[in-house]
Amino acid sequence: MTLRCNLEKNTILIVEDEEDILELLEYTLQKEGYDTIGFTKVNQALEDIFEEESIDLVLMDRNLPGIDGTSFIKNIKQQGINVPVIYVTAKDKEEDILNGFDAHADDYITKPFNLKELCARVKAILKRTKKSVEILKVKDIVYKKSNKKFYIDEKEIELTHLEHDLFLEFIKNKDILLSREHLLEAVWEDSFDKKLKTVNVAVKRLKAKIDPKGKKEYIKSIRGEGYIFC
């Protein structure tokens, strides 16, 4: 499995049982500037991925060992995971294609496929659907853009405006070390209270609210460098 995390980029989940095709898709889409997560089959790690990462698009093969791709997509849709789906499959009969669109497909690409056309379709789907995505999910954290609220384990977390902006900055930069200087510029902007100590206090208060028992360690302090959300 290839895993690269940066919520500033679109993250594409690819499920393809032929490893050479999977590697080609990942290589091509990464060159186009996307983050990719690849699986060759449906397993527990794949089923958990939507709880751990923010997925913007799924490229799904329908012919998979064990559970087929359409069944997996039906399952996640029933869970309320509203992510766009492109089937990339050898099933190319008219009834297969119609069945695919009935099974939650936003687009349908048959094998063999043209890589430039695939990239164009990926771009078009993301452009059409990105604006309508109202929920970010990272681990057990849910952020609803509609009301600008965070939820952990389905419980709303009461945050101040500053804490909201600070938490969102961390989530958008998952697994990236953020210096105190960066946080001051990104979150405090033109505030008069732009001191490094201010960042320390704000992060401490935020950590107390999102992880009061101190067991989850969402935000780690890196001595002398800053903080990282992971």
* Higher-pLDDT residue of 8, 12: 12
Calpha distance 109→204 (Å, rounded): 48
- Between CA 22 and CA 19 the distance in angstroms is 5
| Distance, CA of 61 to CA of 58 (rounded, Å) | 10
User: What angle do the packed helices 161-172 and 196-210 form, to 10 degrees?
Assistant: 90
pLDDT reported for residue 134? 64
Q: Is the pLDDT of residue 62 over 70?
A: yes
Average of per-residue pLDDT across 185-208? 82
Give residue 1's pLDDT band: very low, low, confident or very high (50, 70, 90).
very low
Instruction: Pinpoint the alpha helices (H) of the chain.
Output: 19-31, 44-52, 69-78, 94-102, 115-129, 161-172, 180-183, 196-210
For residue 227, pLDDT beyond 70: yes
Domains of the chain: 11-132 (3.40.50.2300), 157-229 (1.10.10.10)
So what's the pLDDT on residue 207?
Answer: 95
pLDDT range class, residue 230, cuts 50, 70, 90:
confident
Q: What is the mean pLDDT of residues 122-134?
A: 76
- Cβ atoms of 17 and 11 within 8 Å: the answer is no
Supply φ then ψ for residue 4, to 5 degrees: -135, 135
Predicted pLDDT at 35: 93
Phi, psi of 148 (to 5 degrees): 55, 45
Q: pTM of the entire structure?
A: 0.57
Closest CA to 38 of 66, 10, 7, 59: 59
